[in-house]
Amino acid sequence: MKKFLWKRAVASAISLICLIILVFFLSRLTGDPTDLFLPETATQEARDNYRRVHGLDQPLVSQFFRYVTDLVQLNFGESVRRAEPAIDPVLRGFAWTLQLATVTMALVTLAAITLGSLAAFHVGGFFDRVATFFSLMGASAPDFWIAIIAIVVFSVGLGWLPTSGTGSVWHWIMPVAVLFIRPFGLILQVVRGSMITALNSAYVKTARAKGVENRPIIFVHALRNALLPVITVIGDQTAAILNGAVIVETIFGFPGVGKLMIDSILQRDFNVILAAIMVTAFAIFILNIMIDLLYAVLDPRIRY
Amino acid sequence: MADHLIEVRNLSVDFHTAQGTVHAVRNVSWHLDKGETLAILGESGSGKSVSASAIMNLIDMPPGEITSGKVLFDGRDLLEMSSSERRKINGSRIAMIFQDPLSHLNPVYTVGWQIAEIMTAHGMPAEKARTRTLELMKRVKIPDAENKIDSYPHQFSGGQRQRLMIAMALALKPDILIADEPTTALDVTVQAQVLSLLEELQEETGMGMLLITHDLGVVAEAADRVVVMNSGEIVETGTANEVYHTPKHPYTKKLISAVPGTGKMTDPLATGIEPILQINGLTKHFGGFVAVDDASLTVLPGETVAIVGESGSGKSTLAKTLLRLEDASSGSALYLGRDLVTMPSDELFALRRDIQMVFQDPTQSLNPRMSVFQIISEAFEIHPDILPKPQWKNRVRELLELVGLEASHMHRHPHQFSGGQRQRIAIARALAMEPKLIICDEAVSALDVSIQAQVIDLLVKLQEELDVSYLFIAHDLPLVRDFAHRVVVMQGGKIVEQGPVAQIFDDPQEDYTKGLMAAGLSPDPEIQADRRRARAELLETTI
């Protein structure tokens, strides 16, 4: 178990290092933040001064080494746009995104598992038709389009829901609803397929021969076996939202890490971009470990 | 008419599939009385399990449809009852155990929970159910039951798992136990133990037992009466003795004559020939586990050497190291003087032509997306020196005819064939390489008895024509008895005994071999009755 965690930590650290190298140099390709930050009329002297203060006058490689040295001491550098350490806005944004991901995925999981299981129990029946409709919709509907249509209908047209922000429960409804659609359709399909296999298995036959009722057969005997592939997909989809539900956050003005990243890229605020990437990467590492541990909880045959 | 414990009357069941309607059983009638064991004997596809599934409400409808018939139990027709009424009967009055207990136990729950569930599902409080579970586990002789109650199915052996299934089924003292191929996946010695446990428990409780099987040995050991089924119909009924000794229907006669283990044993080949394969001190470790321990044996050209042993004896691992599917840890295997164990890979590639393998399950070992022609001619593609391309078609035709198939079969795909035909394709595929040695790993174990006999006949014929040698890995002793020149007995990775077939079967030296021979079941009910008596006497004298 300890060995397993170590292995995973080392493997993740290696990918994180590669990621830092890649993002550090790629982000520099977008240009010099000085041009954006200072007015067009700024003197060359002011520009040089700004570059010196932020270390932008150094060769790229030495900038990188200075960055890494700071990073080892958990110093993510200063934001060039905001007078604060780069990590601060990232953690604030991440807290919002984490809440958004948790609420969305909790609802998705509950809904997909219930509907998917019922669909699998009677293939071709009512629940199966409903499930097919939703998963087709989830797979085919572009979220930016739905988000805009939702604003047009519910905010502008009907005036029921606010267009942006996070002030109240009402503010959350549209972002959660739009983010819900795609993972719901996908996970629903996986639950349905996996449950059909489980319900056709030999141990379900045994349970029926024992005189066990339908509800425990579906939700006790079959479901726990069917969940293994499902939690993999749940993990992937959670990671996708944590990585920045960029479009949805931007459209609904939701102050999450996705929106922060887009803003920082446009502003060439390199330290914020890197901090945001590292925080989400760390979160996804934790998420994957949690999924692996959940495997072992669900299936006693899996031991690390 | 006297009242029976359960009576199936004129039952017909159809399955509506995409390929059309299949009449799974037609007009099947049988009955079972208290304390009696009725066997339903049949090969795969005979419909032998369908009436049991109908009793247990396990037929999925659709695609299944019960088109006629009654199942009378306690004076009522089960088929007329609501599903909640039938649920109350399932498990408490009529219980069932299955083949392959590993897949029939839920892998993610403890066995204690699963046994207790049959009681809680019928209204027993959880605590009482757990106490009773522990009693039951002790009754079916699970060692260390107090601790094992919270273990998971994969932590038990195959025989123990079937005992746990039996404990579960008998928890509520049912009137009827249905056992569907209860010992098919088990080793012979374990099979004998499970059958005698069932017999004991039947005497204790007086339950009626329905035994569904393809194995005449199991019938001879356990059944009072037999119903013989073939393609959905009952062809013969009678006592176990009547059916074995005076079969009336041609199908029953054919089935009984196909049972292996009664023919003449093969004489050993003349000595003094240079062996084709000479294995010396072959050993294979998996970590600290020794799968094959210092195995030595030889195979002569044109000889059949059988390796027999129970599961875990290392017989398959030995075969895999010969083909370098696993690398041996030490020892040597000389094929015509060259060591297979240390041979460099280019030399091995050329040699792969000479040594071919036929696997147990042709459904899995043949690529379902390739046509028969592609499967067989792939050999010529991999080894271009065998045959120029224009002649491939002719050669595939020849090979198919050689294994008893037709030339027109070459454009079909594996799923269009029966199990026996698929194994013939697998043999043709192996023969395409013109091998000198074919390793058959349980090559006929998955086939019905009559098909087994045909495939064995084919292997014998090919050996006579092509002078090929076989290393025949099997757990089925009667089969080996009829087919092998020499027999190697393995246990726990070690070779315990080897010799000419007549010596091993008629005069085994080692205790393990003797036990193995004694555990095998004879298809003759009278012989089995004698053996049972002898066992009982032995038990009394030792007490």
- Burial class from Cβ neighbours inside 10 Å (0-12, 13-18, 19+) for residue B464 reads exposed
**pLDDT classification of A197: cutoffs 50, 70, 90:** very high
Least confident of A16-30, A231-245, B230-244, B268-282: A16-30
On whether the CB atoms of residues B23 and B65 are closer than 8 A, the answer is no
Could you give the CA distance from residue B114 to residue A210 in angstroms, rounded to a whole number? 10
Q: What is the mean pLDDT of residues A210-238?
A: 92
Q: Under 8 Å CB-to-CB from A63, ≥6 apart: which residues?
A: A55, A56
Least confident of A265-269, B81-85, B376-380: A265-269
pLDDT the model gives residue B234: 93
Distance of CA A228 to the CA centre of its chain: 20
A168 vs B28: which has the higher pLDDT: B28
Chain A environment of B117 (Cβ under 8 Å): 207, 210, 212
Instruction: Provide the pairing of β-strand B277-286 with B289-299.
Output: antiparallel
Answer positive or negative: Cα dihedral of B195, B196, B200, B203: positive
pLDDT the model gives residue A42: 79
**pLDDT classification of A222: cutoffs 50, 70, 90:** very high
Determine the straight-line distance between the first and last CA of chain A, rounded to whole angstroms. Answer: 5
| Whether the predicted pLDDT of B124 surpasses 70 | yes
Q: What is the mean pLDDT of residues B349-361?
A: 87
| Whether the predicted pLDDT of B2 surpasses 60 | no
Residue A37: CB atoms within 10 A of its CB come to 16
Q: What is the mean pLDDT of residues B491-518?
A: 90
A83 vs B70: which has the higher pLDDT: B70
pLDDT the model gives residue B249: 92
| Whether the predicted pLDDT of B1 surpasses 70 | no
Could you give the CA distance from residue A60 to residue B477 in angstroms, rounded to a whole number? 76
**pLDDT classification of B336: cutoffs 50, 70, 90:** confident
pLDDT the model gives residue A244: 63
Least confident of A33-47, A246-260, B230-244, B372-386: A33-47
Q: Say if the Cβ atoms of A298 and B154 lie within 8 Å.
A: no
pLDDT the model gives residue B539: 64
Q: Say if the Cβ atoms of B100 and A301 lie within 8 Å.
A: no
Q: Say if the Cβ atoms of B106 and A225 lie within 8 Å.
A: yes
pLDDT the model gives residue A164: 75
Chain A environment of B92 (Cβ under 8 Å): 211
On whether the CB atoms of residues A223 and A231 are closer than 8 A, the answer is no
- Burial class from Cβ neighbours inside 10 Å (0-12, 13-18, 19+) for residue A169 reads exposed
| Whether the predicted pLDDT of B270 surpasses 80 | no
Q: What is the mean pLDDT of residues A139-145?
A: 81
| Shortest alpha-carbon distance between residue A217 and chain B (Å) | 11
Question: How high is the mean pLDDT of chain B?
Answer: 89
Most distant CA pair in chain B, distance: 76
On whether the CB atoms of residues B487 and B289 are closer than 8 A, the answer is no
Most confident of A73-82, A138-147, B12-21, B173-182: B173-182
Q: What is the mean pLDDT of residues B496-504?
A: 92
On whether the CB atoms of residues B140 and B166 are closer than 8 A, the answer is yes
Could you give the CA distance from residue B154 to residue A188 in angstroms, rounded to a whole number? 30
Most confident of B2-6, B44-48, B436-440: B436-440
pLDDT the model gives residue B541: 64
B262 vs A286: which has the higher pLDDT: A286
Chain A environment of B118 (Cβ under 8 Å): 210-211
| Shortest alpha-carbon distance between residue B122 and chain A (Å) | 8
How would you label A54-80 residue by residue, b for 16+ Cβ within 10 Å and e otherwise?
bebeeeeeebbeebeeeeeeeebbbbb
Whole-Å CA distances, B164 to B135, B156, B168? 12, 9, 6
| Whether the predicted pLDDT of A83 surpasses 80 | no
Domain boundary assignment for chain B: 34-64+83-258, 262-354+437-517, 364-434
- Burial class from Cβ neighbours inside 10 Å (0-12, 13-18, 19+) for residue B395 reads middle
| Whether the predicted pLDDT of A45 surpasses 90 | no
Q: What is the mean pLDDT of residues B356-381?
A: 89
Interface test with B, best of A210, A228, A295 (most B CBs within 10 A): A210
Q: What is the CATH number of domain A88-298?
A: 1.10.3720.10
Domain boundary assignment for chain A: 2-72, 88-298
pLDDT the model gives residue B359: 87
| Whether the predicted pLDDT of B540 surpasses 70 | no
| Whether the predicted pLDDT of B496 surpasses 90 | yes
Q: Which amino acid, one-letter code, is at B147?
A: N
Place of tokens 């062809």: B235
- Three-class SS state of B371: coil
Chain B environment of A221 (Cβ under 8 Å): 106, 109
Tokens at residue B118, please?
């049959």
Whole-Å CA distances, B153 to A302, B105, B109, B228? 13, 7, 8, 34
Percentage of chain A beyond pLDDT 70 is 100
Say yes or no: do domains B34-64+83-258 and B262-354+437-517 share a fold: yes
Q: Give all strands (DSSP E) within A190-291, no chain letters.
A: none
Could you give the CA distance from residue B153 to residue B107 in angstroms, rounded to a whole number? 6
Identify which of A208, A224, A225 has the shortest CB distance to residue B90.
Answer: A208
pLDDT the model gives residue B36: 93
The angle that helices B372-382 and B419-431 make with each other, rounded to 10 degrees, is 20
Identify which of B91, B107, B122 has the shortest CB distance to residue A209.
Answer: B91
| Shortest alpha-carbon distance between residue A277 and chain B (Å) | 38
Q: What is the mean pLDDT of residues A12-41?
A: 79
DSSP letter for A78, please. B
pLDDT the model gives residue B87: 92
pLDDT the model gives residue B542: 54
* Short-list A218, A190, A194, CA closest to A204: A218
Distance of CA B21 to the CA centre of its chain: 29
Chain A environment of B109 (Cβ under 8 Å): 221, 224
Counted residue by residue, chain A has a size of 304
pLDDT the model gives residue B264: 79
Cis peptide before B500 (omega within 30 of 0): no
Q: Say if the Cβ atoms of B121 and A203 lie within 8 Å.
A: no
Read off the pLDDT of residues B68-88 as tens digits, 9 standing for 90 and up.
Answer: 999 999 888 999 999 899 999
Q: Where does residue A55 fall: left (phi above 0), alpha (psi -120 to 50 degrees), or beta otherwise?
A: left
Q: What is the mean pLDDT of residues A238-265?
A: 85
* H or E element in which residue A71 lies: helix A60-72
Identify which of A208, A210, A225 has the shortest CB distance to residue B107.
Answer: A225
Answer positive or negative: Cα dihedral of A47, A48, A49, A53: positive
Per the CATH hierarchy, to which homologous superfamily does domain B34-64+83-258 belong? P-loop containing nucleotide triphosphate hydrolases (3.40.50.300)
Answer positive or negative: Cα dihedral of B447, B452, B456, B461: negative
Q: What is the mean pLDDT of residues B143-156?
A: 91
Q: What is the mean pLDDT of residues B406-421?
A: 87
Q: What is the mean pLDDT of residues B369-388?
A: 90
DSSP string, B141-188: T-TTHHHHTT--GGGS-HHHHHHHHHHHHTTT--SEEEEESTTTTS-H
* Short-list B439, B450, B443, CA closest to B422: B443
Residues linked to residue B38 through DSSP beta bridges, in sequence order: B210, B225
Tokens at residue A179, please?
């983010």
pLDDT the model gives residue B475: 85
Place of tokens 């939202």: A241
Could you give the CA distance from residue B154 to residue A276 in angstroms, rounded to a whole number? 45
| Shortest alpha-carbon distance between residue A127 and chain B (Å) | 17
pLDDT the model gives residue B316: 87
Fold of B262-354+437-517: Rossmann fold (3.40.50)
Identify which of B105, B107, B122 has the shortest CB distance to residue A211.
Answer: B122
Instruction: Provide the pairing of β-strand B233-239 with B76-77.
Output: unpaired
DSSP string, B301-349: TT-EEEEE--TTSSHHHHHHHHTTSS--SEEEEEETTEETTT--HHHHH
Identify which of A210, A216, A301 has the shortest CB distance to residue B118.
Answer: A210
On whether the CB atoms of residues B531 and B524 are closer than 8 A, the answer is no
Q: Say if the Cβ atoms of B95 and A201 lie within 8 Å.
A: no
Q: What is the mean pLDDT of residues B300-315?
A: 90
Question: How high is the mean pLDDT of chain A?
Answer: 86
Tokens at residue A251, please?
């459209």
Chain B environment of A213 (Cβ under 8 Å): 87, 121
Please write down the HEC assignment for all residues of B435-484. Answer: CCEEEEECCCCCCCHHHHHHHHHHHHHHHHHHCCEEEEEECCHHHHHHHC
B511 vs B260: which has the higher pLDDT: B511
Q: Say if the Cβ atoms of B91 and A201 lie within 8 Å.
A: no
Read off the pLDDT of residues B27-53 as tens digits, 9 standing for 90 and up.
Answer: 999 999 999 999 999 988 888 999 899
Could you give the CA distance from residue A45 to residue B456 in angstroms, rounded to a whole number? 95
A217 vs A172: which has the higher pLDDT: A217
